[in-house]
Amino acid sequence: MGNKIVRFIFFGNYFVGILAVALTIEATNQLRLPYNSINYFMLLFLAPIIYYTYAYNKVSTKPSSTNPRNQWYYKHKTFINWSQVLLFTACIALSVNLLYHNYYNILKLPLSYWTAIIVIIIAGALYYGLLPRSFLKFNLRNTGWLKAFVIGFVWACCANVLPLIMLKIETGIGYHDPLLWTWLFIKNWMFCTVNAIIFDIKDYPSDANKHLRTFVVRYGLRRTIFYVLIPLLIIGLISLFIFAYFKGFGLLQVFFNVLPFILTIYIAYSMHKRKNILYYLMVIDGLILFKAICGIIGMQFVQ
């Protein structure tokens, strides 16, 4: 029973929804901004579940005897299809409610906000090749090394851009410290990019066969750790320290925010042996949840 629940949460992408909410709460705390509405957080939870489930169904065209996640999707195909309909219906209802209460504020959004929205939508659609091939054949997943940066970018936007857009829509409050926000964005972007690169390790054999030039395929595991992961984490740490300096973080706040970076390096070193898919979904993606929790805890020590 316990194993079924675990598979449901992680294979069904419900954990991804939790990550989106957790990262947003962390960023909202660190920027010391008001929380968005419950309506928005419910949308934020449901949308990634629908997106990743649809994308996985789209790229997985036949059963696999070696992929437990693929097997789970085929075994529960009827349930997944119905749940997608229900979740999508709930998203539409939440979106209509949000639009109804904020119609004029949405129309009055500055051009920069609309530009950000369009960029996020395009990046998310291109990543899994969700746009019709007749419209655009380019798929960011097939660019190899760029894929991880796009994943990190979309997740950083989810945590640091969408909440600001929604805050402007729902309350009229705008964030007017772009320099400070930029350092927090870079920190989250680098951390999520590193997480995506570590996740690519599980796809090393298939990516190599497809000639998909991910960092791991191109450089090997050891070089990827030393020449890619650690430098990116250092960039993220530098951004964190600059953000912490401007925000006046104390030692405990800095300590809790540094912990996820240290743990990520340790996990990267432990990747020499192949793990099963649930390990990646629980431990590797779990690093993002750990980061969010540490960031939230750190903010409790604000003086």
Tokens of 250: 């104390």
CA separation for the pair 20, 209 (Å, rounded): 32
CA triple 187-296-51, angle to 5 deg? 65
CA separation for the pair 209, 218 (Å, rounded): 12
- Tell me how crowded residue 10 is: count the other CB atoms within 10 A of its CB: 20
Confidence band, pLDDT 50/70/90 cuts, at residue 134: very low
CA separation for the pair 158, 17 (Å, rounded): 11
**Claim: this prediction has a pTM higher than 0.95:** no
pLDDT at 15 (0 to 100)? 94
Tokens of 161: 């851009």
Q: Which of 21-25, 190-194, 196-200 is predicted least confidently? A: 196-200
Statement: residue 166 has pLDDT above 90: yes
pLDDT at 96 (0 to 100)? 95
Q: Which residues contact 141 (CB under 8 A, 6 or more apart)?
A: 127, 128, 129, 147, 212
Question: Is 284:198 a contact under the CB 8 Å cutoff?
Answer: yes
Question: Is 196:151 a contact under the CB 8 Å cutoff?
Answer: yes
Q: What are the pLDDT digits (tens) for 32-58?
A: 888 999 999 999 999 999 988 987 776
Confidence band, pLDDT 50/70/90 cuts, at residue 228: confident
